[in-house]
Amino acid sequence: MAVQSGKDLLVKLDLTGDGQFETIAGLRATRISFNAETVDVTSLESAGGWRELLAGAGVRSASISGSGVFRDADTDERARQIFFAGETPDFQVIIPDFGTVQGAFQITAIEYAGSHNGEATYEISLASAGVLTFTAL
């Protein structure tokens, strides 16, 4: 894979539930993380005393985080609504030259900051809330 521009990693939100995704405006930095818990099935009979893991078991999850500046009233307002209502709408993460991850996420944190001589900024964190799909490019 060739070097990619960080600005091409996009977090998109289905604003109205109609399957049309819009980029969350103003994000300057984004990150997606995939996690899988392990289930340890090691016993006294494990070869050489090495740990054994149960394949396909455990909880899988993903988390998204981003930070940026306010640019668009619609996506800013929708993110606040989702957080306060505890909704789990569909999001998309576009990973350049890799693919698209899509599924339900819950906004777990929104932080706002600003200084007297700079722009107002925000940080957002999301946690997966169901099955995710991956579509390769």
How far from each other are the two terminal CA atoms of the chain, in whole angstroms?
12
pLDDT at residue 100, rounded to an integer: 94
pLDDT at residue 77, rounded to an integer: 87
Distance CA 61, CA 127 (A): 8
Reading the block at residue 49, the tokens are 């005393």
> Cα–chain-centroid distance for residue 114?
24
Under a CB-based contact definition with an 8 Å cutoff, are residues 52 and 41 in contact?
Answer: yes
Give the domains, in start order, of the chain with CATH numbers: 6-136 (2.30.110)
pLDDT at residue 87, rounded to an integer: 94
pLDDT at residue 46, rounded to an integer: 93
b/e burial code for range 24-41 (CB count within 10 A of at least 16 → b): bbbbeebebeeeeeeeee
pLDDT at residue 1, rounded to an integer: 59
Give the residues of the chain that fall short of pLDDT 50: none
pLDDT at residue 28, rounded to an integer: 87
This prediction's pTM: 0.85
pLDDT at residue 52, rounded to an integer: 94
pLDDT at residue 39, rounded to an integer: 94
pLDDT at residue 111, rounded to an integer: 93
